[in-house]
Amino acid sequence: MLEVQNLSMRFGGLLAVDQVTLDVQEHEIVSIIGPNGAGKTTVFNCISGFYKPTGGKILFEGGEIQGKPDHKISRLGMVRTFQHVRLFGQMTVVENLLVAQHRHLNTNLLAGLIKTPDYREREQKSLDRAAYWLERVGLMELANREAGNLAYGQQRRLEIARCMVTEPKLLMLDEPAAGLNPAETKDLNQLIISLKEDYNVSVLLIEHDMSLVMDISDRITVINQGRPLAAGTPDEVRNNDDVIKAYLGEA
């Protein structure tokens, strides 16, 4: 569903991403790994429309999306998180989930003012969906708390719930396990697998936690200094000499 072909991104004299090619099929979890500063997040930023790539093509479900504005790309069914939590911290937990469904609601102001039956029904649906995902990520009791006051791990889960209420086809997670303790990472592991199995969402993942990556990925792409280094199944990548060198340095 997502195809990235020869993607390049140049900032002045710095070639941050050089000819990266990767793809994500339906019902698949693909991870991007690589040392710090390898250009993983830059790849994400190009795909999600945050940056306009200087070279290459990005196709989503067959259509070219490189250089399109980010809200148009997100409306195609692609949603992402960032390395740091970006919740609406001063809004309640449930409001965070409702506002993410903004575009699913009737956009007619008049319908909202006089609360037509159709509007009520949509509003009810988005509340139901929010409640479902709160239950799913175990935050139901905290629904009316301010999102900024949640514990870090809870904020991370809320972010994923907020992505899921938009009913994406592709979920892009940038280091979702960063800062989580081992138990939380294990929960996250199961959650991501369940997103794929039970909700038919494809996942593109950037992660440093190797046990998580090796556990859940169907395929892995390794990037080093902006260039693709290796790609394949977790086993292939684990035994690739170049990868071992890049991570451990030359012996």
Interface with other proteins by CB under 8 A: which residues?
48, 50, 70-71, 74-75, 79-80, 84, 86, 88-91, 95, 98-100, 102-103, 105, 107, 109, 112, 123, 162, 166
N- to C-terminal Cα distance for the chain? 39
Quick one: 102 or 238, whose CB is closer to other proteins?
102
CB of 173 to other proteins, least distance (A): 13
Q: Would you say 72 or 238 has its CB closer to other proteins?
A: 72
Phi, psi of 172 (to 5 degrees): -115, 115
Q: What is the maximum alpha-carbon separation in the chain? A: 71
Answer yes or no: are the C-beta atoms of 236 and 218 closer than 8 Å: no
Instruction: Give strand pairing partners of 31.
Output: 205, 220
Say which DSSP state 108 is in: -
Helices 152-164 and 182-199 cross at an angle (nearest 10°) of 10
Q: How far is the CB of 190 from other proteins (least distance, A)?
A: 25
Say how far apart CA 226 and CA 188 lie, in whole Å.
Answer: 28
Q: Between 129 and 162, name the residue whose CB sits nearer to other proteins.
A: 162
Closest approach of other proteins to the CB of residue 200, in Å: 20
Among residues 96 and 189, whose Cβ is nearest to other proteins?
Answer: 96
Q: Using the minimum distance from each CB to other proteins, give the nearer residue, 70 or 187.
A: 70
State in angstroms the smallest separation of the CB of 149 from other proteins.
14
Contact 202, 29 (CB under 8 A): yes
The distance of closest approach from Cβ of residue 171 to other proteins in the complex, given in angstroms and rounded to an integer, is: 12
